[in-house]
Amino acid sequence: MRELPIAVNDLLNKYMKLFNEYMPNQLAGLYLHGSLALDAYVEGRSDIDFIAVTHRGLTQSELERAEEIHKIIADKYQFPEMDGVYITQNDLGKLGECYFFNNGKMNYGHFLNPVTWWLLNKKGITIYGALPVIETNDSDLVSYTYENMNTYWANRIRKIEKSIDEIARVAESEADKEIEWTVLGLLRQFYTLREKDIISKQGAGEYSLKHLPEEWHPIILDAINIRSGKEDRHYAEKLERMEETIKLSKYLINQSAAIKNR
């Protein structure tokens, strides 16, 4: 198993200890994907994206115990936060509804997608249990990414554009958070469509500087600097940065079909 950050390793050891105390003989496997699998974990910012596989579906009382475990973990460790799903072995590789822990609460619904399974299959980290065998293919990954760009991201950009006049009243840090999320998030999609692979946000920004026209480089560099905690900006005003973010986003979404079918 690859070496994990000390805080992550300590948290996961505590989590498994509690799990086995609260629900003996239930845990069949624990796997990580997300930033940890991409070697892009940022201390104090990244989550632990996990998949907990149980021998059988959790009962209501067990779900309450799982939530209690997460509360204990959150009280002990401010960072990182855990973000993941509880499934059985029969659910591995599937896209159905499941119980998932997100933003401090246990929920039920659709939380898994082809990116989850592709990343687990190609780069996932096994913390406990046998390495799962999952069938994935690049076409599912590309199709999901294309649809995500043209639904979730397209709708998000329309909402941002409609509320652009409100940017003046938003704190600089909040505006920059939106710029980083949008620019690097869409550039990850751009990378996946071109390379049929998954990359970190930072890596997507650096890749795009080599593969997108120079006119987009300033806003990409601003997003990279925001994520890196650097103060340097090519656009001095947050309104300018947001307007360029919208322009780049529209460009990528408009180009997505051509990129996908290269």
CA torsion sign for 137, 143, 149, 152 is: negative
Q: Is the pLDDT of residue 82 over 80?
A: yes
CB 161 within 8 A of CB 248: no
User: 10 Å Cβ neighbour count for 56?
Assistant: 12
Nearest in space to 107 (alpha carbons), one of 78, 86, 76: 86
Q: Is the pLDDT of residue 181 over 90?
A: yes
Q: What is the pLDDT of residues 88-137, one digit of tens each?
A: 999 999 999 999 999 999 999 999 999 999 999 999 999 999 888 888 88
Q: Cα angle at 119 between 175 and 199, to 5 degrees?
A: 45
pLDDT grade for 70, boundaries at 50, 70 and 90:
very high
pTM equals: 0.91
Tokens 């069938």, located at residue:
135
The pLDDT of residue 1 is: 59
Nearest in space to 231 (alpha carbons), one of 172, 162, 146, 186: 172
Burial of 255 by CB count in 10 Å (0-12 exposed, 13-18 middle, 19+ buried)? middle
Q: How far is residue 146's CA from residue 164's CA, in Å, rounded to a whole number?
A: 26
Contacts from 250-259 at CB under 8 Å and sequence distance 24+? Answer: 250/157, 251/216, 252/149, 252/186, 252/187, 252/189, 252/190, 253/149, 253/150, 253/153, 253/154, 253/157, 253/186, 256/146, 256/149, 256/150, 256/189, 256/193, 257/146, 259/190, 259/193, 259/194
Q: Is the pLDDT of residue 216 over 90?
A: yes
Burial of 200 by CB count in 10 Å (0-12 exposed, 13-18 middle, 19+ buried)? buried
Q: How far is residue 210's CA from residue 213's CA, in Å, rounded to a whole number?
A: 8
CB 141 within 8 A of CB 115: yes
